[in-house]
Amino acid sequence: MNKHIEKYLDDLRDAMRELDKSTIQDALADAEDHLTTALQVETEEKPDTDKSELVKEIIERYGTPEDIFEQYSDIEEITTPVFATSEKAEETGIWGFCSVIAEPKAWAACLYMTLSLATGIAYFTWTTTGLSVSLGFLPLIIGIPIALLFLLSFRGIGFVEGRMVEALLGVRMPRRAITPGEGENWWARFKIILTTRSTWTTIVYMLLLMPLGIIYFTLIVTLFSSALSLIGAPVIQYIFHEPFVDPGIWIPFYAMPFVVAAGGTLIVLTLHLAKAIGKLHGDFAKSMLVS
């Protein structure tokens, strides 16, 4: 990469340090892509012009780091994730506690926890396959290109997972897929990707999501099924004439309101738990998937 572009990107990173690191990653990726592409075009159109002068002109047209900071600050104010908007002041008492039932964010977290089993298994399978195949072919000439393709695929899957995290958990994640070393030869790209921290943290995340997904899925299914069975106890006993618990355990009629109330309370508690897990997992995903 041109040294003037590198210097501009460093200055841009410093100017944007107050913003979310996902926003910084997007801004740096946009700037690098625009400047390198513009430099290639300008070099072809003006082959006799000094490249340093071309870069300075391109950077001047693109804008100062301070200008870019202001532009991205304005964009972030109107493009925050759906479930990241500031919540209204919570009501106190029992009604405030139960209001989680009407929060889409809680249900979205439940959906993410349910889907994480399938995505976790898919990520784990692809990662273990990719690592084993890459290591197996590494001693051969074709080993490095194969390893490079797999490493790029890990980053691509990590980007897709980040979009899912932002959509369902409300945590700002990168909105632009980046490929380190773009424009370099395959050997240079391999070295850059190999030494980039986010490459390995993404792989670790993809391996960990399967056990996490099993835990999340088990929690959601167990808690919701238990809650629904408690709520449906009157239907089970008085309409289908089946004991609530086999073998032959019948709940007295006077106890039914308490059983149904226990089921409703369990749903509320499950939604609160899902919100808390969603917040923790979103922060974890951000620390692992963002450069």
Q: What is the mean pLDDT of residues 36-62?
A: 85
Least confident of 116-130, 150-164, 246-260, 273-287: 246-260
Residue finishing a domain among 58, 79, 100: 79
- Top pLDDT among 67 and 179 is at 67
Residues 284 and 190 in one domain: yes
| 0.85 exceeded by pTM | no
Between 247 and 50, the more confident residue is 50
CA–CA gap between residue 141 and residue 169 (Å, rounded):
43
> Average pLDDT of 113-118?
96
Query: For the chain, what is the domain count?
Result: 2
Task: Please determine, for residue 85, whether its predicted confidence score (pLDDT) is greater than 70.
Answer: no
Positive or negative, the CA dihedral 191, 195, 199, 205 is positive
Q: What is the mean pLDDT of residues 140-150?
A: 84
Chosen domain end from 42, 61, 79:
79
What does the pLDDT average to over 82-102? 70
Domain extent at residue 167: 88-291
Asked if residue 158 and residue 230 are part of one domain, the reply reads: yes
Residue where a domain terminates, one of 47, 79, 111: 79
pLDDT exceeds cutoff 80 at 74: yes
pLDDT score at 55: 87
Same domain membership, residue 271 and residue 188: yes
pLDDT tier for residue 196 given thresholds of 50, 70 and 90: confident
